[in-house]
Amino acid sequence: MSLSDRQNRILAFLNQAGGNLTSTELTDAFDVSVQTIRKDLNELSNQGLVQRVHGGITLPRQNRNLSFSNRQVINLDAKRSIAQAVADRLPEGASVFLGIGTTPQQVAQALLGHPGLQVVTNNLNVALTLCRNPNIETLIAGGRIRPADQDVMGEDTTRFLRRFQVNFGIFGIGGLSESGELMDFSLEESHLSRAILDCSDQRVLVADSSKYLRSAPIRTGLLDEVDLFVTDHLPEPVEALLRDKHTEVICTSGNETGESA
């Protein structure tokens, strides 16, 4: 099921508001009836994207990620713009990691017309997408398939990635904390993202604004370990964290680009 434009805006508003909103705030913000907002919130809750509480909604308190199919519909336009910004930066002949998640999948889609790359991935959708371009060499890791996440995981998977040293490591995260911590939902996800961070010349984080303040239990690293952060919206607390760092930021909503320093 796809999300309406208003439902995507509700999710963005919820993240910007720190994870809690009342029904009154939502009806005022979107100038619609209580019944209309209630229908939107029921649909978002049924998909596990929000948690209904008395008088409003909160971000769901999750120790597990949403299914891949549910994540595909969240902020899809934002993910596509992020993906195109990344694809525009990759030179011909580069070697690339593409990690787990729906935004790396969109990066793969944006790379379909690229003249040539070597891509290492454990993301099944990335591999299926890139095999449509014979000029892109795709290497896929072996391991245990996670049906709900549509990827491959495990010690063999992480060990395979650690055999490479690539030009660009492109990865997503489960959540981004207020203090700039990169959060994941499981240890094996964290180990895999850590391998990408450790084995890439340029580390590229792709994360739309719904990841800000999203709850995830495992700390993988810090935002200032990233060389390039591509997002659709940069919350002011995150911008403040990066002011004295050397992380380049591309914000696709305003076509802003520059080094946070």
pTM: 0.74
- What string of pLDDT tens digits covers the 261 residues of the chain? 578 888 888 887 886 676 788 888 889 988 889 889 888 888 888 877 788 888 888 876 654 555 444 454 467 888 999 999 999 999 999 999 999 989 999 999 999 999 899 999 999 999 999 999 999 999 999 999 998 889 999 999 999 999 999 999 999 999 898 889 999 989 999 999 999 999 999 999 999 888 887 778 899 999 999 999 999 988 888 888 888 788 999 999 864 545 544
The closest alpha carbon to 173, from 200, 139, 210, belongs to 210
User: Domains (ranges, CATH) in the chain?
Assistant: 5-61 (1.10.10.10), 69-259 (3.40.50.1360)
pLDDT at residue number 151: 94
- Sign of torsion, CA 10 103 225 227? negative
On whether the CB atoms of residues 169 and 193 are closer than 8 A, the answer is no
The residues, ordered by sequence, that sit 6+ positions from 247 with a Cβ below 8 Å of its Cβ are 223, 224, 226, 227, 228, 229, 259, 260
Amino acid, res. 233: H
Task: Give residue-wise pLDDT tens across range 52-80.
Answer: 888 888 876 654 555 444 454 467 888 99
